[in-house]
Amino acid sequence: MSSSIPGLPGADDRVVDQAGTAIDPSARPFRRTFTAEYRARVVAEYEAAPHGEKSAVLRREGLYQSQVRRWAAAREALARGTSAPRRAHRSTGGKDDPARLRAENQRLARELAKSQAVVEIMGKLQGLLEAVSESTDTSTSSRKR
């Protein structure tokens, strides 16, 4: 049964490729685009809606509140004559900063030196414990009770 509204897909509407096999329409998502007029109309309608009706506008249009907020901020920035606010991105400048890399390299070198010293001390301690163990084994076995 297909939908009664023309142009909208219904449950029985199937897209078929050249080979005659059905194509799942959800397999190829698409990004919606909105015209400036549409965005202006939705923002105006959203802002004019009373407190309890704002979500109804969003549901009807299939939008999120964050989208409408972004559109409103862009409209206000345009009215002020500034550029639209951009989404904050992580700065990539700090990744290859030579001073930061040198400091990290020095820190890692100190850490490696500590680890090597610990391994060396552990080796000496093991040798000492083996020597003590051997000396106590021979002295107890030579004594009679």
Residue 145 has pLDDT above 60, yes or no: no
Place of tokens 């939908």: 3
Rounded CA-CA distance 121/59 in Å is: 68
CATH dotted code for 15-80: 1.10.10
Q: Give all strands (DSSP E) within the chain, no chain letters.
A: 15-16, 22-23
Give the tokens for residue 110.
């100190």
Q: Render pLDDT for 105-134 as a digit per residue (tens, 0 to 9).
A: 999 999 999 999 999 999 999 999 999 998
Full-model pTM: 0.41
Of the pLDDT bands very low, low, confident and very high (cuts 50, 70, 90), residue 29 is confident
CA distances from 93 to 42, 99, 101, 104 (A): 38, 12, 12, 16
CA distances from 69 to 14, 22, 80 (A): 36, 39, 16
* Domain boundaries defined on the chain: 15-80, 105-136
Average pLDDT over the chain reads 80
